[in-house]
Amino acid sequence: MGDNNRTKMVEIAGRPLKLRYTVNSLCALEDRAGMPLDRLMDRQFSATRFLLWAGLVEEQPELTVRDVGAMIGDCVAAGGCLEDIVDMCAEGLRAAGFFGGEDR
């Protein structure tokens, strides 16, 4: 299974990072959030922070949820918006084969 094509390089607040979603990272998201992803989606800021963390934790395991929240805050302060982060996460989920994959 080639995971390299499922890893996306992204830049958040000037920091290059690898974004990759796996079943394990999404399970960790739900475990950490204490609720299923569909319920979490009602909480825009929490959902964005957890979704981004789940995509980053596989390749950068040292990142905490709090670290990722700070990165999002830095991104927004620099003129980005929450929707940009959500779009980045959606692209990563599609690349991983979740929610309608790309080239399968």
Residue 63 structural domain:
4-95
Residue 92 has a pLDDT of: 93
Residue 1 has a pLDDT of: 45
Q: Please give the single-letter amino acid code of residue 15.
A: R
pTM here?
0.86
Indicate the number of domains in the chain.
1
Sign of CA dihedral 83, 88, 75, 69: positive
Residue 53 has a pLDDT of: 97
Q: Please give the single-letter amino acid code of residue 73.
A: G
Is residue 47 included in any domain, yes or no? yes
In angstroms, the CA 8 to CA 17 distance is 8
Q: How big is the chain, counted in residues?
A: 104
Is residue 101 included in any domain, yes or no? no
Is residue 58 included in any domain, yes or no? yes
In angstroms, the CA 62 to CA 88 distance is 20
Average pLDDT over residues 28-35: 94
- 29 pLDDT above the threshold of 80: yes
In angstroms, the CA 67 to CA 13 distance is 12
Average pLDDT over residues 23-30: 95
Is residue 104 included in any domain, yes or no? no
